[in-house]
Amino acid sequence: MTNTDTQLATLDAEGLSLKSVSLWQITWRRLFKRKSAIVGLVILGILVVIALTAQWIAPYDPIKVLLGTEPVKPRQAPCIHLLGCPADQPQHIMGIDGNVRDQFSRLLYGARLSLMVGFSTVTFAIVIGTVLGALSGYFGGWIDNLIMRIMDVLLAFPSLLLAIAIVTVLGPGLINALLAIGIVSIPAYARVVRASVLSVREMDYVSATRALGGNPFQILFYRILPNALTPLIVQGTLGIATAILDAAALSFLGLGAQPPTPEWGSMLGAERNQVFTAPHLVFYPGAAIALTVLSFNLLGDGLRDALDPRLAHISG
Amino acid sequence: MFQYIVRRIFLSIPVLFGILLVTFALARLIPGDPCRAILGEKATQAVCDRFIREKGLDKPIYVQFGIYLGEIARGDFGNSIRFSMPVTRLLVERLPTTVELSFSALFVSMLIGIPLGILSAVKHNSWVDVLTMVWANTGVSMPVFWLGLMLAYFFSVILKDTPFWLPPSGRVSPGISAPPFNEVWGLTAQQGSALDAIYQFISRLNILNALLTANWELLKDAVQHLILPSLALGTIPMALIARMARSSMLEVLGQDYIRTARAKGLTQRMVVLKHAFRNSLLPLATVIGLSLGSLLGGAVLTETIFGLSGVGRTLFEAITARDYGIVQAFTVVIAVFFVVLNLIVDISYAYLDPRIRLE
């Protein structure tokens, strides 16, 4: 980045460039021209605010059992004063869960975990995937063959099943579930990085750097990898969506977050047999997962279109 | 073409080997003592020692891997601990459920997804297009397990006592007779033979069996039971297919030969279905192939929710119960199925686009 900046500054000083607009400014502008991307950004913004302020906006402690402190029963239906629930009853806008806790507060706290799950697994997968993909694409030969065949094997298993197997080996728990989801999503990033390394490896500017005596790591990190940044961002945003879904599925099966952690997947899993009698306990956590995943999907699609150079002539 | 297929098959051999290696390693890494997991908690040390010697578990790990490879080559997957029967028999019993579920989910998703995608490309930017895209984006974002539970709640509780009621679980209602087709047809096979296994497999595919035996009562009941799980499992691929059909159709519709086709006076219907659709099939084939893989993962969740004992749920339960035999066999079967699927997708590319096989 700093390199480009100084170059642009030099160009400016020499009066060669018109008004310089960075890639990110263009992307940002294009992103705001798409309604779906804006919707995604807004939902995501709200979720981030909820996650950051959960301890102040949640009406109850998410793991506190209300039995004895309030006249409520397990799995009580939602009580909203505005919708005609008698004022002498305590308000629980999403009802009470099976362990007599306030579902709404648990849902708010769940946003924290869900976002954390998404970002941490994808960061892990991107870091490892980038290293593997870069080595594979840059050095080629047997290194490439070895790494890519391993990736093929990982891709040969349905990702959720492989994640289940890895969690079983590591033992159930949120951290292990994150690790498992991170591992199964490595191949996607390794492939993206390898493809973009291959596409620029033989270009003149790379040969020039090599001729100037740049060492392989310099070339790889400063000359080649920046080209992989845009596909990685798109893949990563969409990957967060998948990671959140998979983590929720693992927790739903009891392999991820353990009770009483307020995690949406495990909240849903714990009450799944009560769906016919207390549907609110299944509906809200699932809707929260869907909304979060939707926001990342919309944003990822928007970014893909905004970062696509083929569309550069349309707007800018 | 033939050369291309042979080359692709050879390329998948190292992947298959890798799959066996990973499966073997994972099964060995699952924490817990295999002897006590298999023979029970009360097995004495002497019994365990003999068990370990007999099973070859005292040999070096690479020898064990060799034994494992040999067993698989002979089609011997060992016994299941919990069900105390050969894993292959269990597979014959459970696989049909998953096959039926996956294929009907894929069928539903293609049946709705492809026309919807084409329609929204043809009517680009109309309300049909906007609605389809909103729905497609929502579709890929919904957790399978949530969608399944909500569908079950809606169709079997809210729509109770209406003609739209659908059963929330199981494959057939109790009391529906489902005689296997081979008995109806008077075919017999020796118990335990391969032919017998094939008969059993086919007769457990309820819909196929109902068609083969003209059992309309069973057909109606089985279809009713399949609708909700297929919708739950099929929604994500449906959304992906609709999106891909739309975008590849849009790309094709913008090309010169389409304008030529229009200029020579072909009807819209001819242009879209004959000229454009064929060329938009290639990316669609990718998505459909990849979806089948995710269907298998989704099957774990769908089968759990709808109380179906298929491969996915059995495997999940086996993993948590450390039933090594099932874990090894079922994972291998699923992964091999996946590899074969990718092979078919690649070959269908070569068929659909001659440029690929000539490279």
A287 contacts B297? CB cut-off 8 A: no
Report the alpha-carbon distance of residue A98 to residue A268 in Å, rounded: 11
Alpha helices in chain A (DSSP H): 2-13, 23-31, 35-57, 103-139, 141-155, 159-170, 174-201, 204-211, 216-218, 229-252, 264-270, 280-307
pLDDT > 90: what percent of chain B?
A: 19
pLDDT > 70: what percent of chain A?
A: 91
- Helix (H) or strand (E) run with residue B351 in it: helix B324-352
Burial class (CB in 10 A: 0-12, 13-18, 19+), A216: exposed
pLDDT > 70: what percent of chain B?
A: 97
Q: By CA distance, what is A267's nearest residue in B? A: B146
Unique residue bearing structure tokens 């993993």: B319
Q: What is the pLDDT of residue A51?
A: 93
User: What phi, psi does A102 have (nearest 5°)?
Assistant: -75, 115
Unique residue bearing structure tokens 């490879």: B69
Range of lowest pLDDT (A50-64, A178-192, B70-84, B92-106)? B70-84
| DSSP annotation string for B234-281 | HHHHHHHHHHHHHHHHHHHHTSHHHHHHHHTT--HHHIIIIIIHHHTH
Q: What is the pLDDT of residue A316?
A: 34
* Most confident range, picked from A227-231, B44-48, B216-220: B216-220
The better pLDDT of the pair B189, A121 is held by A121
Q: How long a stretch of residues is chain B?
A: 359
**Nearest C-alpha of chain B: how many angstroms from A313?**
17
**Nearest C-alpha of chain B: how many angstroms from A298?**
7
- Residue B242 near chain A (CB below 8 Å): no
Query: What pLDDT band is residue B198 in, cutting at 50, 70 and 90?
Result: confident
Token readout for A25 is: 């400014």
B137 contacts A294? CB cut-off 8 A: yes
From residue A113, alpha-carbon distances to A121, A164, A246, A256, A292 in Å are: 12, 19, 13, 12, 12
Query: What pLDDT band is residue A315 in, cutting at 50, 70 and 90?
Result: very low
Mean per-residue pLDDT for B180-197? 83
Range of lowest pLDDT (A182-186, A251-255, B270-274)? B270-274
pLDDT tens for each residue of A75-101 = 888 888 888 888 888 888 888 888 888
pLDDT at B194 over 50: yes
- ipTM score assigned to the predicted complex: 0.84
> Which residue in the set B141, B293, B338 is minimally distant from A241, CB to CB?
B141
- Amino acid code (one letter) for B86: P
**Residues of A engaging B, defined by a Cβ cutoff of 8 Å:** 36, 149-150, 152-153, 156-161, 164-166, 168-169, 171, 241, 245, 248-249, 252-253, 265, 268-269, 272, 275-276, 279, 282-283, 285-287, 289-291, 293-294, 297-298, 301
The better pLDDT of the pair A119, B177 is held by A119
Q: What is the largest CA-CA distance in chain B?
A: 86
pLDDT tens for each residue of B36-79 = 766 766 777 788 888 777 777 777 888 888 888 888 888 777 77
Report the alpha-carbon distance of residue B300 to residue A249 in Å, rounded: 10
Q: By CA distance, what is A247's nearest residue in B? A: B143
From residue B151, alpha-carbon distances to A119, B58, B110, B301 in Å are: 30, 51, 20, 14
Report the alpha-carbon distance of residue A241 to residue B238 in Å, rounded: 17
pLDDT tens for each residue of B146-177 = 999 999 999 999 998 888 888 888 888 888 88
User: What phi, psi does A177 have (nearest 5°)?
Assistant: -65, -40
Size of interface A-B (CB pairs under 8 A): 133
Mean per-residue pLDDT for B281-308? 83
> Which residue in the set A165, A290, A298 is minimally distant from B146, CB to CB?
A290
Residues pairing with B86 in the sheet:
B79
> Which residue in the set B141, B157, B297 is minimally distant from A297, CB to CB?
B141
**Nearest C-alpha of chain A: how many angstroms from B207?**
26
Contact (Cβ atoms closer than 8 angstroms) between residue A298 and residue A27: no
Report the alpha-carbon distance of residue A102 to residue A92 in Å, rounded: 6
Q: By CA distance, what is A246's nearest residue in B? A: B143
* Most confident range, picked from A9-18, B38-47, B86-95: B86-95
pLDDT at A190 over 80: yes
Range of lowest pLDDT (A95-109, A217-231, A246-260)? A217-231
Unique residue bearing structure tokens 């500054």: A9
Contact (Cβ atoms closer than 8 angstroms) between residue B208 and residue B97: no
Candidates A149, A161, A244, A308: best to mutate against B (most CBs of B within 10 A) is: A161
Q: By CA distance, what is A163's nearest residue in B? A: B297
Range of lowest pLDDT (A102-116, B30-44, B67-81)? B30-44
B18 contacts in A (CB within 8 Å)? 149-150, 152-153, 156
Candidates A238, A275, A283: best to mutate against B (most CBs of B within 10 A) is: A275
**Nearest C-alpha of chain B: how many angstroms from A61?**
25
**Nearest C-alpha of chain A: how many angstroms from B96?**
19
Candidates A38, A47, A153: best to mutate against B (most CBs of B within 10 A) is: A153
pLDDT at B240 over 80: yes
> Which residue in the set B29, B141, B315 is minimally distant from A290, CB to CB?
B141
Q: By CA distance, what is B137's nearest residue in A? A: A294
- Residue B169 near chain A (CB below 8 Å): no
Contact (Cβ atoms closer than 8 angstroms) between residue A289 and residue A114: yes
User: What phi, psi does B330 have (nearest 5°)?
Assistant: -65, -40
Residue A257 has a CB neighbour count (10 Å cut-off) of: 28
From residue A201, alpha-carbon distances to A137, A229, A271, B228 in Å are: 8, 15, 53, 50
Q: By CA distance, what is A164's nearest residue in B? A: B316
pLDDT at A258 over 80: yes
Query: What pLDDT band is residue A243 in, cutting at 50, 70 and 90?
Result: very high
- Residue B347 near chain A (CB below 8 Å): no
A176 contacts in B (CB within 8 Å)? none
Long-range contacts, A300-303 (Cβ 8 Å, 24+): A300/A40, A300/A234, A300/A237, A300/A238, A300/A240, A300/A241, A301/A36, A301/A37, A301/A40, A301/A238, A301/B137, A302/A31, A302/A34, A302/A36, A302/A37, A302/A40, A303/A27, A303/A31, A303/A37, A303/A233, A303/A234, A303/A237
Q: Is the peptide bond before B31 cis (omega within 30 degrees of 0)?
A: no
B142 contacts A290? CB cut-off 8 A: yes
B297 contacts A169? CB cut-off 8 A: no
A287 contacts B15? CB cut-off 8 A: no
Residue A313 has a CB neighbour count (10 Å cut-off) of: 7
Unique residue bearing structure tokens 């491969």: B311
pLDDT tens for each residue of B203-217 = 889 889 999 888 888
Residue environment code for B82-95, b if the CB has 16+ CB neighbours within 10 A, otherwise e: bbeebbbbbbbbbb
Q: What is the pLDDT of residue A187?
A: 93
CB contact residues (below 8 A), chain B span 28-47, against chain A: 29-31
B143 contacts A156? CB cut-off 8 A: no
Range of lowest pLDDT (A295-309, B26-40, B186-200)? B26-40
